[in-house]
């Protein structure tokens, strides 16, 4: 077994690998860019080596720098995590040449499976079910039309070297094939330097289901069941679960056997994933193989009890698999939610900055949080915006979802925008709870973007009670302030008015004992509210009529902003007289920004594409702002003239900073 390994990655996956290495008694080496000097993975590792400037192309992606770091520290092996160099066959070969073990697959497997055309041909030879299509290279639009006509519409045009949706088109007619073929080729050459295109049948209303495989260097390969990854946004997975609510034992067995057959065909010798596109009728077709550890591997670990990172390390050290296929049992259900630094209310624009507060839910046997950040740390503009992977495990799917909903309610982040309300809203959707999934799920459920979860009346009522409880707690503290002037003791009326979601709710509050409040509504309803919450805590945990509830709290003028189950709502608590006066107050309208171009996220101005005095039309490019590896093109929404430009290329802007003004 290795005495020291280097992790050629950053963030949560680097921390994840370090935890297992520590458990195995293996020393760890972290590498870091200038931007990651104070990152959590650097602090956790036994040693750390700086490998260059912030851009990944000058640090984490430079093979020579990783090898140099191994030589400096005496690391015997390298775990690549996922992303960066994890599926780079040149990296695996360079490590081998330097006498360093790659904790990953052999270079040949990476190379074959990294080419979408070659991998499909290989899969077909291994008797793996593949999507009907044409696997050869297509050089002319006329040939593409003929092939598409033969396969039958709709078809998908895909770049062989593609990924992340680039070089990919779904087309429904010969005319669309001609247009889609040329644009896909152009996109492929500009994104990947490879213009090879293939065509395959497009599966309508598909699901994305993958099989986890595990191999060693002695020819043994097993599978550990499947993961459902159909909840995606822009081809990026958002929520994953294991097992899939669609598959039965027969289909699982067939998919697993085919995944193992493919892995054996390429002498696969570590953890990897065979991905399938699956019809609602359980028909399945090979999509691709990811020759690395997947982001969503924790859900498989939770239902099988197998530490995949440990197995990868043992396989790389030459050990035989200690598990047989018959040893694998799927226990319960697991769900993973990817928590990103992005604003779901503004088209999921990236959000960067300091984590002023970072308070994840407490980890237990059924709640796991893989993260690479900490309170006070920064979310950088240079890397992936993932903050954490929150996972829950339950006896049933419904149990795992309930635990996830509770855990999301207890996950408090302040200082940046995040997608926790969006994830919580999905957990509450009837379609999600029924397991009626497809890769179009998010587009189907939120066609006009995300505006928060639906505000059910019973939930609004519960939040009003929480606001009244918090207000009463504050009033009780005021009654007991020391060194008050002598005279009549301060008293507070028990009658209160809570303003929430446009409603004014009259109620009466009485404290029965410490931590127990009785609230009577005007219609005669009475509620017992119990909680040990004290002012200053950001999560209110308690019971309403015996039912547990967790609510996030942020103070605002005359009240609180409460967050629960994907709802973020402002509440105000008044005395009866204050409520009368509050109803007379004019409503402050937001400023008119229709004549300004505002920066949609914190980022770097790449270019300003207009000048003062220019006339522009709808769709014209105005500026480009980069954040978290994404370039965002800002376009004109109407006919107008540029009056004043406030920014220049190279400027770092905060969210809502004015870039330019229109007439």
Which amino acids are annotated catalytic?
288
Q: How far apart are CA 172 and CA 543, in angstroms?
A: 54
Q: Which two tokens stand for residue 285?
A: 């077709």
Q: Are strands 367-371 and 386-394 parallel, antiparallel or unpaired?
A: antiparallel
DSSP letter assigned to residue 130: B
CA angle 257/335/78 to nearest 5° reads 65
Packed helices 89-97 and 63-73: angle between N→C axes, nearest 10 degrees: 30
Q: Please, is 447 exposed, middle or buried when counting C-beta atoms within 10 Å of its C-beta (0-12, 13-18, 19+)?
A: exposed
* Burial classification of residue 445, based on how many CB atoms lie within 10 Å of its CB (0-12 exposed, 13-18 middle, 19 or more buried): middle
DSSP per residue over 502-538, as a string?
Answer: TEEEEEEEEEEETTEEEEEETTS-EEEEEE---TT-S
Q: In what order do the strands lie in the sheet with 615-616?
A: 596-598, 658-662, 640-645, 615-616
Q: Can you give the three-state secondary structure of 217-252, one letter per residue? A: CCCCEEEEEEEEEEEEECCEEEEEEECCCCCCHHHH
End-to-end CA distance of the chain: 69
How far apart CA 490 and CA 481 sit, in angstroms, is 10
Cα 265–chain centre separation: 33
**How far is 433 from 431, CA to CA, in rounded Å?**
5
Q: What is the DSSP string of 96-125?
A: HHTT-EESS--HHHHHHHHSHHHHHHHHHH
Yes or no: say if 522 and 464 are a contact pair by the CB < 8 Å rule: no
Can you tell me the distance from the alpha carbon of 85 to that of 655, in angstroms, rounded to the nearest whole number? 32
Where does residue 325 rank: exposed (0-12), middle (13-18), buried (19+ CB within 10 A)? middle
Positive or negative CA dihedral for 289, 294, 299, 302?
A: positive
């Amino acid at each position: 077994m290795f005495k020291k390994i280097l992790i050629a990655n950053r963030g949560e996956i680097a921390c994840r690998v370090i935890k297992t290495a520590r458990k195995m008694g293996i020393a760890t080496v972290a590498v870091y860019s200038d931007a990651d000097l104070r990152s959590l993975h650097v602090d956790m590792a036994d040693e750390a080596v700086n490998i260059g400037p912030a851009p990944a192309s000058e640090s984490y992606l430079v093979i020579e720098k990783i090898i140099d770091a191994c030589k400096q520290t005496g690391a015997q092996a390298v775990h690549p995590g996922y992303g960066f160099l994890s599926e780079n066959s040149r990296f695996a070969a360079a490590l081998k040449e330097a006498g360093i073990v790659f904790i990953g697959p052999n270079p040949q497997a990476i190379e074959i499976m990294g080419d979408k055309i070659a991998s499909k041909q290989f899969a077909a030879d291994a008797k793996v079910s593949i999507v009907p299509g044409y696997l050869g290279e297509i050089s002319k639009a006329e040939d593409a039309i003929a092939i598409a006509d033969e396969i039958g519409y709709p078809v998908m045009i895909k770049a062989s070297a593609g990924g992340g949706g680039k070089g990919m088109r779904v087309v429904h007619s010969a005319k669309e094939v001609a247009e889609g073929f040329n644009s896909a080729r152009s996109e492929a050459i500009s994104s990947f330097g490879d213009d090879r295109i293939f065509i395959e049948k497009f599966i309508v209303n598909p699901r994305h289901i993958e099989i986890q495989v595990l191999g060693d260097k002695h020819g043994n390969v097993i599978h550990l069941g499947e993961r459902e990854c159909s909840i995606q946004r822009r081809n990026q997975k958002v929520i994953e679960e294991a097992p899939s609510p669609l598959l039965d034992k027969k289909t699982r067995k067939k998919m697993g056997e085919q995944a193992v057959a493919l892995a054996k065909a390429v002498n696969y010798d570590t953890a990897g994933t065979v991905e399938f596109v699956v019809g609602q009728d359980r028909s399945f077709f090979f999509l691709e193989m990811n020759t690395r550890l997947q982001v969503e591997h924790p859900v498989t670990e939770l239902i099988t009890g197998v530490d995949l990172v440990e197995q990868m390390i043992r396989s790389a050290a030459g050990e035989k698999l200690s598990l047989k296929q018959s040893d694998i049992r799927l226990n319960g259900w697991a769900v993973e939610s990817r928590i990103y630094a992005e604003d779901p209310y503004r088209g999921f624009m990236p959000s960067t900055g300091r984590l002023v507060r970072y308070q994840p839910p407490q980890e237990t046997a059924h709640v796991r949080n893989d993260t690479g950040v900490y309170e006070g740390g920064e979310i950088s503009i240079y890397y992936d915006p993932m903050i954490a992977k929150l996972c829950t495990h339950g006896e049933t799917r419904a149990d795992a979802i309930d635990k996830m909903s509770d855990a999301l309610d207890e996950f408090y982040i302040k200082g940046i925008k995040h997608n926790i309300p969006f994830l919580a809203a999905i957990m509450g959707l009837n379609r999600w709870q029924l397991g009626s999934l497809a890769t179009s799920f998010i587009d189907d459920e939120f066609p006009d973007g995300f505006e928060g979860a639906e505000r059910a009346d019973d939930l609004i009522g519960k939040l009003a009670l929480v606001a009244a409880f918090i207000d009463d707690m504050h009033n009780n503290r005021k009654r007991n302030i020391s060194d008050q002037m002598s005279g009549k003791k301060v008293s507070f009326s028990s009658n209160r008015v809570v303003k929430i979601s446009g409603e004014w709710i009259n109620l009466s509050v009485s404290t029965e004992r410490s931590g127990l409040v009785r609230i009577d509504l005007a219609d005669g309803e009475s509620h017992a509210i119990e909680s040990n919450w004290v002012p200053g805590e950001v999560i209110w945990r308690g019971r309403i009529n015996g039912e547990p509830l967790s609510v996030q709290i942020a103070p605002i003028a005359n009240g609180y902003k409460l967050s629960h189950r994907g709802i973020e709502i402002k509440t105000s608590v008044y005395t009866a007289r204050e409520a009368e006066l509050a109803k007379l107050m004019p409503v402050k309208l937001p400023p008119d920004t229709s004549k300004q171009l505002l920066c949609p996220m914190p980022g770097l101005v790449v270019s300003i594409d207009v000048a003062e005095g220019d006339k522009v039309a709808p769709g014209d490019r105005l500026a480009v702002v980069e954040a978290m590896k994404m370039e965002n093109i800002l376009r004109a929404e109407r006919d107008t003239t540029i009056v004043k430009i406030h920014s220049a290329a190279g400027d770092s802007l905060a969210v809502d900073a004015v870039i330019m003004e229109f007439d």
